[in-house]
Amino acid sequence: MFHKGEYIIYSHHGVCYIDEIKENTIDKETKLYYIMHPFNEKSKIMTPVDNDKVRMRPIMSSEEAEEVLESVSSDNIYVFEDRKRKDQVYTQIIRDGDPMEIIKVITSILIDEQEKIEEGKKLSTTDKRVLDKAEKFLYPELSLALGLEIDTIRDRVTSLFQELV
């Protein structure tokens, strides 16, 4: 069980802060609920403490965060011929929330973007949206795990990416 005042990863919402844990009765059933809000948002989420239908996990350790960043490599990317399949895979990866896979999505899209720039083209709107979602999911967790600002995380990923190209 998590505790009040703790940051966790909650489902596809990413980093959430547990504001309180309280009993609540819904449909004549009393249970303990986490009351939390997503990182840098004001919306509230309420979910049963014993909810096994959504994924909740602790924030990664600083060592795990460093491993995620160290995995940025041009050998560690996704390559798709089928646009629709790519969109499905990327969406599922973000929904699943595995940091090692999400950084791979980010790196893959950044490499695609660089290739498009070299061809005088732009990144697709869908890829921009997926990149934004992936960064919003992963960067706050890396930020908390490493005790760094999100902009510092973004700069670090950009720097690692620049070493690839």
Please tell me what DSSP assigns to residue 81. S
Region 72-76 average pLDDT: 86
C-alpha closest to that of 156 among 56, 61, 71: 71
* Residue that wins the pLDDT comparison between 75 and 137: 137
Q: How far apart are CA 155 and CA 151, in angstroms?
A: 6
Which whole number is the average pLDDT over 59-71? 97
Would you place residue 100 in the very low, low, confident or very high pLDDT band (cuts 50, 70, 90)?
Answer: very high
Please determine, for residue 26, whether its predicted confidence score (pLDDT) is greater than 90.
no
Structure tokens at 18: 């547990």
Where in the chain are the domains? 7-58, 62-164
Q: Which residues are CB-contacts of 130 (< 8 A; sequence separation ≥ 6)?
A: 87, 90, 91, 94, 105, 109
Determine what percent of the chain is predicted with pLDDT higher than 70: 99
Mean of all residue pLDDT scores within the chain: 94
The topology (CATH level 3) of 62-164 is Methane Monooxygenase Hydroxylase; Chain G, domain 1 (1.20.58)
| Burial bucket for residue 48 (CB in 10 Å: 0-12, 13-18, 19+) | middle
pLDDT of 138 strictly over 90: yes
